[in-house]
C-alpha cells in the first residue's frame, strides 16, 4: 500500500521488514525475558487466523501458550543440565517438551511446567554431529540439514529424484558416520529472495531490491546476500541512506547498514495495511513449533510456524549455517525482512522455496546472532 513520503521516512529503518512485535530494551545478543504481557492487535490475530487456520479465540490461546513456553524454556534447560536434548512447542497441547538423556532429570524439568521426553543423545552431542556434517561438501542434490530434537536425530533433506546420485549417496554415507541421521525428501531447492529493481518499497543496492530488517543503534540489520561491505544503499524514494558496514554470505546470511543523510531508525516494523505498524520491544527466542510472522517489500505480511532450528541450508552459492526454518511464505525482494513471534524479534529473512500463492518454506538468520557478531544493540520501544 503506497504511503506519503513523510510517513515513509519516519519508518525508514523498517520499511521492508515486517512483523508485529513488542519488548523491553535488549543489548547486543541479549534476549529479553518474555514474561511480560504481550499485546495482540485484532489485525495480528486476523493474520494468524488467515495463515494458520485458527479462530480468534484459538489464536489468542496460542499466543498465550507460546509466551508461557518461551518463559519456561530457559528454566527447563537449566533443570535438565548436561542431559538437555533440545525443546519444542506443540500447538495441539499448548505445552513445551524438553528432551533429556538422564531419566533422573525428568522430574526437575516437569517442575518448571514443561513436559519431559527421555532420549539417547544430548543437544551438545547432536550439535557436534551436525558440525561434522557441516564440514562436508554438500552436492546440489542435498537441500538442507538440521538437528531435530523431537526425533533426536539430524534430519537431512535431499531433492526428490536425486537420492540415487553418486555424490548424494556419498554425502549421506559420510553423514551417517558423523552421527544419527534421518533422510527426508523435498521437491524444492532453496533459493535466496533478493530481486531486481522494481517498483515498491526500499531498500535498493545496485540493481537489487531487498527488505530492511530490524533497527539497531546507528542502522539496521538485513540479509548478507543482498550486497557486500561498502555497498551504497538507497531508500524507497531513491535517496541515499548509508552503506553496508558488514556482510557475510555464504556461511552466514546477515549484514548491517549504517543510517544517516536525513534517515533515522525507529523500533517499528511495517504492517503494510494488513496489520498496524508494530513496535519492537525485544528478542527472546521462540521455541520450535511456535507461531511466527514475517513482512517484506514484496509479499508483505504472512504468518506460519517455526519448523526447525540450527539448520544448514545448501544454496547454489554455498551452505549457510545456524538458520531457522519456517512454513511462512516469501517471495523475491523479501530478503532481509523481519521475523517476529508474538512480541519478540526473531531474525532476518534469508531464502526459501515457493511463493505466497501456493505456499512454501522460508529460512531466517536469528537476530541475536547478528547482534552478537557486530556488537549491535537492538532499537526497542
List the end-to-end C-alpha distance of the chain, in Å, as a whole number.
24
Environment class of residue 2 by beta-carbon count within 10 Å: exposed (0-12), middle (13-18) or buried (19+)? exposed
- In which residue are the cell numbers 513520503 written? 5
Q: What residues are labeled active site?
A: 225, 253, 335
Dihedral (CA of 279, 280, 286, 292) sign: positive
Cα 243 to Cα 204, 238, 258, 332: the distances in Å are 11, 14, 6, 22
Among residues 44, 24, 34, 99, the alpha carbon closest in space to that of 272 is found at 44
3-state helix, strand, coil in the chain (%, to 5): 25, 35, 40
How many whole angstroms separate alpha carbon 287 and alpha carbon 291? 9
Bridge partners (DSSP) listed for residue 339:
294, 347
How many whole angstroms separate alpha carbon 168 and alpha carbon 177? 14
Amino acid at each position: 500500500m503506497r504511503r506519503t513520503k513523510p510517513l515513509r521516512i519516519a519508518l525508514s529503518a523498517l520499511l521492508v521488514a515486517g512483523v508485529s512485535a513488542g519488548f523491553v530494551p535488549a543489548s547486543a545478543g541479549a534476549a529479553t525475558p518474555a514474561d511480560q504481557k504481550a499485546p495482540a492487535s485484532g489485525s495480528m490475530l486476523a493474520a494468524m487466523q488467515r495463515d494458520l487456520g485458527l479462530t480468534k479465540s484459538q489464536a489468542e490461546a496460542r499466543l498465550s501458550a507460546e509466551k508461557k513456553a518461551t518463559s519456561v524454556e530457559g528454566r527447563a534447560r537449566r533443570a535438565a543440565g548436561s542431559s538437555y536434548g533440545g525443546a519444542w512447542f506443540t500447538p495441539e497441547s499448548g505445552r513445551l517438551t524438553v528432551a533429556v538423556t538422564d531419566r533422573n532429570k525428568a522430574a526437575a524439568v516437569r517442575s518448571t511446567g514443561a513436559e519431559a521426553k527421555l532420549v539417547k543423545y544430548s543437544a551438545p552431542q547432536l550439535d557436534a554431529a551436525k558440525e561434522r556434517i557441516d564440514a562436508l561438501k554438500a552436492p546440489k542434490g542435498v537441500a538442507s540439514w538440521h538437528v531435530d530434537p523431537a526425533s533426536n536425530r539430524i534430519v537431512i533433506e535431499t531433492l526428490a529424484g536425486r537420492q540415487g546420485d553418486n555424490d548424494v549417496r556419498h554425502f549421506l554415507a559420510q553423514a551417517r558416520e558423523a552421527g544419527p541421521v534421518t533422510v527426508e525428501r523435498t521437491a524444492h531447492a532453496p533459493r535466496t529472495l533478493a530481486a531486481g529493481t522494481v517498483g515498491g518499497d526500499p531498500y535498493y543496492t545496485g540493481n537489487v531490491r531487498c527488505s530492511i530488517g530490524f533497527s539497531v543503534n546507528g542502522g539496521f540489520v538485513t540479509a548478507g546476500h543482498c550486497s557486500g561491505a561498502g555497498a551504497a544503499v538507497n531508500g524507497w524514494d531513491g535517496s541515499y541512506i548509508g552503506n553496508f558496514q558488514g556482510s557475510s554470505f555464504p556461511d552466514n546470511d546477515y549484514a548491517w547498514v549504517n543510517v544517516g543523510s536525513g534517515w533515522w531508525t525507529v523500533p517499528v516494523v511495517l504492517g503494510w495495511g494488513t496489520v498496524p505498524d508494530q513496535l519492537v520491544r525485544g528478542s527472546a527466542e521462540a521455541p520450535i513449533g511456535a507461531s511466527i510472522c514475517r513482512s517484506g517489500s514484496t509479499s508483505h505480511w504472512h504468518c506460519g510456524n517455526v519448523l526447525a532450528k540450527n539448520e544448514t541450508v545448501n544454496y547454489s552459492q554455498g551452505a549457510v549455517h545456524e538458520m531457522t526454518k519456517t512454513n511462512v511464505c516469501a517471495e523475491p525482494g523479501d530478503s532481509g525482512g523481519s521475523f517476529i513471534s508474538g512480541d519478540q524479534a526473531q531474525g532476518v529473512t534469508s531464502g526459501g522455496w515457493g511463493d505466497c500463492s501456493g505456499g512454501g518454506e522460508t529460512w531466517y538468520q536469528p537476530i541475536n546472532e547478528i547482534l552478537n557478531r557486530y556488537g549491535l544493540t537492538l532499537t526497542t520501544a
